[in-house]
Amino acid sequence: MPDTTNATTSLALDENLSLGTGASLWTTHVVEAASIPALKLTDGPHGLRGQGSDDDHLGLAESTSATCFPTASVLASSWDVGLLVEVGEAIGREVVDQDVNVVLGPGVNMKRTPLCGRNFEYFSEGPPLPGKLAAAWIRGVQSTGTGTSVKHFALNSQELRRMTTDVRVDQRALHEYYPPAFEITVKKAEPTTVMSSYNRVEGVYSGENPLACRHPARQVGVPRVIVTDWGAMNDRAAAYAAGLDLEMPGNRGASDEEVRATVRSCRLDESAIDASIERMRELARRTTERPAVTRDGLYDRHHQLARRAALESGVLLKNDGGLLSLAPGSKIALIGALAATLRYQGTGSSRVNPTRVVSLRDGLRAQVGVEYAPGYPIADEANDELVLRAVDLTGRAERVIVCVGLTDDFEREGFDREHMRIPANQIALLDALRPFADRVAIVLVGGSAVEMPWEESASALLHMQLAGQAGGQAAADLLVGAANPTGKIAESYPVVYEDVVSAGRFGIEAEQTPYLESMYCGYRYFDSAQYPFGHGLSYTTFEYSDLRVARRGDHLVEVSVTIANTGERAGAEAVQLYVAPQSGGVYRPVHELNAFTKVPLAPGESRTVSLSLGRRTFAVYDPQREDWIVEAGQYELRVGASSRDIRLRETVEIAGRAPVPHTVSPWYTAPQGKPALEDFLPIHEPFPIVEPLRKGTFGLNSSLSEMKDASMACRVIHAGVERTVAKAFGGKIDHDNPQFKMLMYSVTGLPMRGWRG
- Within 8 A by CB and 6+ apart from 369, the residues are 331, 332
Looking at residue 223, what is its pLDDT? 62
At residue 732, the pLDDT reads 78
- Would you state the torsion angle of the CA atoms of residues 722, 728, 732, 734, taken in this order, to the nearest 10 degrees? -70
Helix H or strand E encompassing 308: helix 298-313
**Greater pLDDT, 10 or 102:** 102
Check pLDDT > 70 for residue 101.
yes
Q: Are 91 and 42 in contact (CB under 8 A)?
A: no
What whole-number distance in Å separates Cα of residue 146 and Cα of residue 93?
8
Q: What's the pLDDT score for residue 144? A: 97
In the prediction, which pLDDT does 212 show?
63
DSSP 129: H
* Residue 58: pLDDT over 70: no
So what's the pLDDT on residue 14?
81
* Contact of 382 with 425, CB cutoff 8 Å: yes
Q: What does the pLDDT look like over 512-537, one tens digit per residue?
A: 899 999 999 999 998 778 999 999 99
Least confident among 30-39, 371-380, 446-455, 629-638: 30-39
Residue 644, pLDDT score:
96
- Report pLDDT for 678: 83
The model's confidence at residue 9, banded by pLDDT at 50, 70 and 90, is very low
Supply the pTM of this predicted model.
0.93
Are the CB atoms for 445 and 314 separated by under 8 Å? no
432: enclosing H helix or E strand: helix 424-432
From residue 731, alpha-carbon distances to 663, 719, 727, 734, 747 in Å are 59, 13, 4, 9, 17
Helix (H) / strand (E) element for 576: namely strand 571-581
> How much of the chain, in percent, has pLDDT values that exceed 70?
92
Q: How many CB atoms are closer than 10 A to CB 265?
A: 9
Strand stretches in 517-570, DSSP E: 542-551, 557-565
Which pLDDT value is given to residue 11?
43
pLDDT of residue 692 exceeding 80: no
The SS3 call for residue 505 is coil
Decide if pLDDT at 3 tops 60.
no
pLDDT score, position 575: 98
Least confident span in 87-96, 121-130, 219-228, 297-306: 219-228
Cα 188 to Cα 55: distance, rounded to the nearest angstrom: 35
Given the residues 43, 80, 229, 477, the one annotated as active site: 229
Show the 3-state SS of 346-386.
CCCCCCCEECCCCCHHHHHHCCCCEEEECCCCCCCCCCHHH
Least-confidence region, from 193-197, 217-221, 272-276, 283-287: 217-221
3-state secondary structure (DSSP) of residue 136: helix
Q: Does residue 104 register a pLDDT over 90? A: yes
Q: What is the pLDDT of residue 31?
A: 81
Which strand ranges, in their side-by-side order, compose the sheet holding 102-104? Answer: 41-43, 102-104, 147-153, 193-196, 225-228
What is the C-alpha to C-alpha distance for residues 612 and 587, in angstroms, rounded to an integer?
Answer: 24
pLDDT at 264 over 60: yes
Is residue 235 pLDDT above 80, yes or no?
yes
Listed in order, strand segments (DSSP E) in 290-366 are 315-319, 332-335, 353-354
Of 463, 90, 89, 120, which Cα lies nearest the Cα of 310?
463
Residue 724, pLDDT > 90, answer no
709 pLDDT above the threshold of 80: no
**Least-confidence region, from 220-234, 545-559, 568-582, 683-697:** 683-697
pLDDT tens-digit readout, 137-169: 999 999 999 999 999 998 999 988 888 889 999
- CB burial of residue 260 (10 Å; 0-12, 13-18, 19+): middle
Residue 43 in this model has a pLDDT that exceeds 70 = yes
CA atoms within 13 A on the CB side of 492: 26
pLDDT, tens digit (0-9, with 9 covering 90-100), for 317-366: 999 999 999 988 889 999 999 999 999 999 888 899 999 999 999 999 99
Outline where DSSP puts E strands in 154-293.
166-168, 193-196, 200-201, 204-205, 225-228
3-state helix, strand, coil split of the chain in percent (to 5) is 35, 20, 45
Give the residue with greater pLDDT, 224 vs 417.
417
pLDDT at 248 over 80: yes
**So what's the pLDDT on residue 717?**
78
Residue 204 pLDDT > 50: yes
As a whole number of angstroms, the distance between CA 190 and CA 459 comes to: 45
**Cα–Cα distance for residue pair 332/463, rounded to 1 Å:** 19
Whether 693 shows a pLDDT value over 80: the answer reads no
Confidence band (pLDDT; 50, 70, 90) for 5? very low
What's the order of all strands across the beta sheet hosting 166-168? 204-205, 200-201, 166-168, 512-514
Question: Closest by alpha carbon to 405, among 480, 341, 490?
Answer: 341
Mean of the per-residue pLDDT values of the chain: 89
**Residue 687 in this model has a pLDDT that exceeds 60:** no
Query: For residues 116 and 504, which has the higher predicted lDDT (pLDDT)?
Result: 116
Where residue 485 falls among pLDDT bands split at 50, 70, 90?
Answer: very high
User: Is 269 one of the catalytic residues?
Assistant: no
Cα separation, 410 vs 449, in Å, equals 12
**Beta carbons of 198 and 57 less than 8 angstroms apart:** no
Give a three-class secondary structure readout of 708-729. Answer: CCCCHHHHHHHHHHHHHHHHHH
CA 719-725-726 angle, to 5 degrees, is 90
136 phi, psi to nearest 5 deg: -65, -45
pLDDT at position 737 over 80: no
Cα–Cα distance measured from residue 609 to residue 626, given in angstroms and rounded to the nearest whole number: 36
Provide CB contacts within 8 A for 55, sequence distance 6+. Answer: 25
**Mean pLDDT score, 597-612:** 98
Please, what's the largest Cα pairwise distance for the chain?
Answer: 98
pLDDT at 6: 38
Is the pLDDT at 551 greater than 80, yes or no?
yes
Strands 204-205 vs 200-201: parallel, antiparallel or unpaired? antiparallel
